[in-house]
Amino acid sequence: MSLLEVQNLRVDFGQSTVVDDVSFSIAPGEKFALVGESGSGKTVTALSVLRLNQYARYGGRILFEGSDLLQKPEPAMRSVRGKDVAMIFQEPMTALNPLFTIGNQIAEVLMLHEGVSAKEAAQRAVALLDKTGIPEPARRALAFPHQLSGGQRQRAMIAMALACRPKLLIADEPTTALDVTIQVQILELLNQLQREENMAVLMITHDLNLVRHFADRVGVMEKGKLIETASTRDLFAQPREPYTRKLLGSRPQRVVDTVDQGAPALLTAERVRCTFSIPRGWFKKTEFVAVDAVDVQLKAHETLGIVGESGSGKSTLGMALLRLSAAQVQGKIAFLGKPISEMSSTALRPMRARMQVVFQDPFASLSPRRTIEQIVGEGLALHQPQLGREKIREAVANALAEVGLVPQMMSRYPHEFSGGQRQRIAIARTLVLKPELILLDEPTSALDVSVQQQVLLLLAELQRKYGMAYLFISHDLAVIRAMAHRVMVMKDGKVVESGTTEEVLSRPKQPYTQRLLAAATYSTLSSAVPESEKVGLT
């Protein structure tokens, strides 16, 4: 008998149907993954199991060990939540209460569901933390969420979820907010705990690579419908549905031309050092070095990939190179032969047209109260005011056509566009100025995989056509592999390794790069990994 059986589930919010006729089942001890792009209804489906959606109307049946969860009264439901079915969330920082210690929060679950004494609960909380591999669990139990690292917080969340030995664990994108190397550790932990406790796992994710190495069976969701369910092996070997094939095929592929070796240097930077001063008390200050002694050389028409985990200083470096950083920047930076590190910000303003930025989050990078025409045309109106309104309009239309949008969209506002379209608008905004250099700060990490590939193709095509250089910042090695000519790997503000993409990503010399690469493909996840290497990871 299956542990969880979802039959013809339908979830409505007001007028819109978010989940429509979804049926699947999970056997005890099975790892089932729901994949899909954002808005496909996978999270809503998972939350329905615990009936945690607000203002939702449900249809169909959700049988957990034979009883329908959708028919249970609310008090009975509360004893299911956390006891039989537990959940871990994407962002552990917001899922944990910042005002209680993590030991306290784990103990609360135990006291609530098992009625144990506070003292015993505290002891068991420490034991649970120990089990999730947090070093010094007794001390960590007294720590507040903000005192832990992202990976440790997620471990604490897992400890909390496992407190009552649930039969089913729902994991909603549990690793998305974490760095790649930490992601692998968390997945390994989940794997190990799942085997030990023999609990079933319902994994919600958009990451196909992760699914491949983690799940036993996979369900693919598209626009609220479950279109395909198969064992992981079958799904990846012979996907049935065209949408699944599209998802599988949308991993970044290399699309760039080789660059001329004799091309002139566009941007050179020597010994760039960025520091932030952090006030300590009233008068003291400490210095935090975000980027330390980094040399950068970028030729015309070239793409330099900067890879690193969060906090490695890659974005700070990128912004510093364009003189947009809030940090104190030392070192020499020359753009087109001019020493921009020495120029005043007023003197620099005319140069801004030639170096542009595309940001990570297309929802934050377009001012919501301006039309697309105003957004894209703003730079032209500033830098080439002699053009006049008609000419600027024309240039905006051309730029929009260039990025695959229709000029008729000019009078619309950003909120009417999807993430991918917004990113195209952001690219059009830089393109209209015909810059020599574009800084791409994680331009695709907020996008769905299929859209990601389209944007990468567009960027490559534009580079071929107009020959600008890209500074491509990303944490995603697959994207860097697809786009960059040369790669710089950063860690803690320093460059660990640099060279051509081929050299660095195929034959990495440094252990850190090797570890990044291994983590990115989840290759260490399979049980065949020797124990010695696993230790190296944790």
Partner 1 sequence: MNTVTPASAATAPAAAPGAAAAPSAVSISPGRRVWLRFKQDRRGYWSLIIFSVLFAISLVAEIVSNDKPLAVGYNGKILFPIVQTYSEKVFGGDFDSPADYLDPFIQEQFARDGNWAIYPLNRYRYDTLNYFAKSPNPAPPSADNWLGTDDRGRDVFARLLYGFRVSVLFGLALTITGVILGLITGAIQGYFAGRVDLFFQRFMEIWGSMPELYLLIIFASIFEPGIGLLLILLSLFGWMGLSDYVRADFLRNRNLEYVQAARALGLSNGQIIWRHVLPNSMTPVVTFLPFRMSAAILALTSLDFLGLGVPPSTPSLGELLAQGKNNLDAWWIATSTFVVLTMMLLLLTNIGDALRNALDVRRQA
Residues that bind partner 1 (CB under 8 A): 16, 39, 322, 324, 348-353, 355-357, 359-361, 364-371, 378-379, 382-383, 404-406, 408-409, 411-413, 415-421, 426, 429, 433
Shortest distance, position 126 Cβ to partner 1, whole Å = 39
Distance CA 167, CA 2 (A): 12
* Residues whose CB is less than 8 angstroms from the CB of residue 528 and which lie 6 or more positions away in sequence, other chains included: none
Q: Between residues 291 and 322, which has the closer beta carbon with respect to partner 1?
A: 322
Residue-by-residue DSSP string for 314-337: HHHHHHHHTT--SSEEEEEEEETT
Q: Between residues 286 and 408, which has the closer beta carbon with respect to partner 1?
A: 408
Distance CA 61, CA 58 (A): 9
Shortest distance, position 349 Cβ to partner 1, whole Å = 4
Sign of CA dihedral 171, 175, 176, 177: positive
Q: Between residues 426 and 482, which has the closer beta carbon with respect to partner 1?
A: 426
Shortest distance, position 518 Cβ to partner 1, whole Å = 32
Residue 303, judged by CB atoms within 10 A of its CB (0-12, 13-18, 19+), counts as: buried
Shortest distance, position 418 Cβ to partner 1, whole Å = 4
In this structure, what token pair is assigned to residue 11?
Answer: 């979830």
Shortest distance, position 361 Cβ to partner 1, whole Å = 6
411 to 373, 377, 399, 407: CA distances (angstroms): 6, 12, 15, 9
Shortest distance, position 1 Cβ to partner 1, whole Å = 37
Q: Between residues 61 and 323, which has the closer beta carbon with respect to partner 1?
A: 323
Shortest distance, position 394 Cβ to partner 1, whole Å = 18
| Site of tokens 């009936």 | 51
CB 168 within 8 A of CB 6: no
Q: Between residues 194 and 430, which has the closer beta carbon with respect to partner 1?
A: 430
Q: Between residues 101 and 325, which has the closer beta carbon with respect to partner 1?
A: 325
Shortest distance, position 363 Cβ to partner 1, whole Å = 9
First to last CA, the chain: 37
CB 291 within 8 A of CB 493: yes
Q: Between residues 55 and 262, which has the closer beta carbon with respect to partner 1?
A: 55
Q: Between residues 176 and 418, which has the closer beta carbon with respect to partner 1?
A: 418
The 3-state DSSP class for residue 251 equals: coil
Which helix (H) or strand (E) segment is 34 a member of? strand 31-35
